[in-house]
Every structure is written in C-alpha cells, then in structure tokens.
C-alpha cells in the first residue's frame, strides 16, 4: 500500500484477488471475522500445500487485504477489514452520478447472516 495512489493500490488489490485460491482464501477469512484462522487451517480448508498457501497469503497481505500476527510458531491471519472497506469505497465512490437511488438496493443484497 504505502505511497501508492488510490488507483494503483486498487489495481494491486484486485490483482491479488484475481486468482481462484486467493479469492477463496479472502472470502474464507472474511467469513471467519476478526478471529481469523491459523495458516495451517487455511491451507487444510483450501486443500492447498502449506508452502503454496504461504505465497497466496503473502500476496494478499502485501495488497492490504489480509493481516498476520505470529503466535509462537503459528501465524494467524485475518481479513483486513479496513483494506476491504478501502477497496469497496474506491470502487463505489463515483457511483450513481449523484443519483444514490441507482445503487440503493446494493447494500440490501449483502447478507451478514451467520452460517
């Protein structure tokens, strides 16, 4: 993220998500909420070798979409909700050309139900 302008950052973030495994990992971490998951559990859940998963998680973290914390020998990952909000805001900030009713139902389509 650093000193990138918003468009360059959004391109990097979207590029990180433009991979089937990384998109699935990101969605899994969003569902896990702030509690997140340890790297090994993410790899098991995705059916991906741990070394490959480390690469995918590092890519998402560099893009500002995932955060990690080390707990002894384990690395714990969670979605970076501020980064997700930043990306969604960037994508939607010019929406509706001054007519918010054009996008009015968008938030209603998002379900925050617990599965």
pLDDT tens-place string over residues 85-104: 999 888 887 777 767 677 76
Q: Domain for residue 101, yes or no?
A: no
**Distance between CA atoms of residues 12 and 5, nearest Å:** 11
Q: Domain for residue 102, yes or no?
A: no
pLDDT at 80 over 60: yes
Domain of residue 81, residue span = 6-94
**Distance between CA atoms of residues 5 and 53, nearest Å:** 28
Q: Domain for residue 71, yes or no?
A: yes
- Give the total number of structural domains in the chain: 1
Q: Domain for residue 85, yes or no?
A: yes
Contact 17, 23 (CB under 8 A): yes
Q: Domain for residue 44, yes or no?
A: yes
Q: What pTM does this model have? A: 0.84
Residue 14 belongs to domain with CATH number: 1.10.10.10
Q: Provide the 3-class DSSP secondary structure of residue 19.
A: coil
| Tens digits of residue pLDDT in 1-60 | 556 798 999 999 999 999 999 999 999 999 999 999 999 999 999 999 999 999 999 999
Q: Domain for residue 59, yes or no?
A: yes
pLDDT at residue 96, as a whole number: 72
Q: Domain for residue 111, yes or no?
A: no
Contact 10, 91 (CB under 8 A): yes
């Amino acid at each position: 993220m650093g000193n990138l302008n918003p468009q360059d950052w959004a391109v990097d973030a979207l590029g990180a998500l433009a991979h089937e495994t990384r998109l699935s990992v990101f969605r899994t971490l969003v569902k896990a909420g702030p509690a997140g998951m340890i790297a090994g559990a993410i790899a098991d859940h995705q059916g991906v070798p741990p070394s490959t998963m480390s690469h995918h998680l590092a890519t998402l973290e560099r893009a500002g979409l995932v955060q990690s914390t080390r707990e002894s020998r384990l690395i714990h990952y969670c979605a970076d909700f501020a980064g997700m909000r930043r990306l969604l805001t960037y994508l939607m900030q010019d929406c509706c050309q001054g007519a918010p009713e054009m996008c009015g139902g968008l938030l209603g389509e998002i379900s925050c139900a617990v599965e």
